[in-house]
């Protein structure tokens, strides 16, 4: 199949693009290479993708002109591109335009692909709110601009399925980590602080937060199964993540154990909208996709540390 992946030079998108190439598919990746974090990190990801045969096109999904030169013969669109996280440095307008407006324009482009079998929206557990422990049918209660706008984007996509205009579904991902994790995220930042002998900025109380820390490879396995089973997942919202919970402190302890050193902590003010608990309810994913994440947190962190050493030391 010919697959379009938006946000392909990012963390999870790049792993997904590589996997689909490995499975024998043709992959085109889109990314806007914005300045939310160091563009050179995305360039490194893009270089790895180009090496395995992924075509990378730099576009801004919010601009209609961006779509005109794109081919119109895709079988599947997987939409990772978004303004991520709950950073206070991001304006509401950035969340609005990148998460809602861009999705609406991508849907219009999807309709131009007459043989399109599936549109996969990548959502987030932040849609549920401060506690994300629920099955997919629960009423969402997002507590951040990120969660609110990702919910809106999800509903734009699912409206297409309800109206029978597109075969579409949405995946809500849980606390993904692993190689290529963004530099401001927990584990990449923690590992970087350890190697650079810097204090880690720990949000006050966050060491007690519970998370379904899910290895990126287990997420990609789920996305692959969604595409293979596109007919039965049409119209569905599906949680992807691990059922195993760890506190943030557990994760810090694992990194310190694997590196053989203590990391200094600099406690800073709490972050508004930060979830206090995520625990993926994956009953639907198990039933529809036989989904079974297998990578433990310590094992995944070993791989992330090895990646960091290879790329940055």
Residues 235-272 pLDDT 10s: 999 999 999 999 999 999 999 999 999 999 999 998 88
Ordered domains of the chain (ranges, CATH): 2-174+215-242+284-289 (3.40.50.720), 186-209+244-274+295-312 (3.90.25.10)
CA distance 218 to 278: 17
Q: What is the pLDDT of residue 270?
A: 87
DSSP the chain: -EEEEETTTSHHHHHHHHHHHHTT-EEEEEE---SSS-HHHHHHHHHHHHHTT-EEEE--TT-GGGGTTS-S--SEEEE-----S--TTS-HHHHIIIIIIHHHHHHHHHHT-TT--EEEEEEEGGGT-SEE---TTSPP---SHHHHHHHHHHHHHHHHHHTTSS-EEEEEE-SEESTT--TTSHHHHHHHHHHHT--EEEETTGGG-EE--EEHHHHHHHHHHHHHTTTTSTT-EEEES-S--EEHHHHHHHHHHHHTS---EEEEPPPTT--SEE----HHHHHHH-------HHHHHHHHHHHHHHHH-
Task: Read off the pTM.
Answer: 0.97
Radius of gyration over every alpha carbon of the chain, rounded to an integer in angstroms: 19
Q: What is the pLDDT of residue 88?
A: 64
Q: Average the pLDDT over 144-161 and give the result.
A: 97
* Tokens of residue 239, six digits: 């949680």
Catalytic positions are 146
Beta bridge partners of 121: 79, 170
Q: Strand pairing of 55-58 and 26-31?
A: parallel
CA distance 209 to 278: 8
Residue 192 has pLDDT above 70, yes or no: yes
* Tokens of residue 133, six digits: 């422990």
Task: Count CB neighbours of 197 within 10 A.
Answer: 9
* Tokens of residue 250, six digits: 């557990």
pLDDT in tens, 68-121: 999 999 999 999 999 988 766 789 999 999 999 999 999 999 999 999 999 999
Residues in the chain: 313
Q: What is the pLDDT of residue 5?
A: 98
Whether 241 contacts 175, CB under 8 Å: yes
Question: In whole numbers, what is the pLDDT of the chain averaged over residues?
Answer: 96
Q: Helices 11-22 and 216-228 sit at what angle, rounded to 10 degrees?
A: 50
């Amino acid at each position: 199949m010919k697959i379009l992946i938006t946000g392909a030079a990012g963390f999870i998108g790049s792993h997904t693009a590589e996997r689909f190439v490995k499975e024998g598919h043709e992959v085109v990746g889109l990314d806007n290479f914005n300045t939310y974090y160091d563009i050179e990190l995305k360039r490194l990801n893009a270089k790895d993708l180009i090496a395995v045969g992924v075509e990378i096109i730099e576009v801004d999904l919010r601009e209609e002109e961006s779509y005109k030169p794109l081919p119109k013969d895709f079988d599947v669109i997987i939409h990772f591109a978004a303004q991520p996280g709950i950073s206070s440095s991001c304006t509401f307008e950035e969340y609005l335009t990148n998460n809602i407006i861009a999705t609406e324009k991508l849907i219009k482009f999807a309709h131009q692909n007459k043989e399109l079998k599936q549109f996969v929206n990548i959502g987030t557990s932040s849609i549920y709110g401060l506690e994300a422990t629920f099955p997919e049918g629960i009423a969402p209660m997002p507590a951040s601009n990120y969660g609110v706008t990702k919910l809106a984007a999800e509903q734009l996509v699912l409206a297409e399925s309800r109206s029978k205009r597109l075969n579409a579904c949405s995946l809500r991902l849980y606390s993904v980590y692993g190689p290529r994790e963004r530099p401001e995220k927990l584990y990449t930042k923690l590992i970087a602080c350890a190697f650079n002998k810097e204090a880690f900025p720990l949000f006050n109380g966050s060491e007690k937060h519970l998370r379904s820390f899910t290895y990126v490879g287990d997420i990609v396995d789920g996305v692959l199964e969604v595409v293979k089973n596109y007919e039965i997942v049409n119209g569905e919202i599906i949680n992807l993540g691990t059922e195993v919970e760890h506190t943030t402190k557990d994760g810090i302890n694992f990194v310190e154990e694997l590196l053989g050193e203590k990391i200094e902590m600099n406690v800073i003010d709490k972050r508004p909208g930060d979830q206090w608990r995520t625990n993926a309810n994956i009953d639907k994913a198990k039933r529809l996709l036989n989904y079974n994440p297998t990578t433990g947190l310590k094992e995944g962190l070993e791989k992330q540390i090895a990646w960091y050493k290879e790329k940055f030391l």
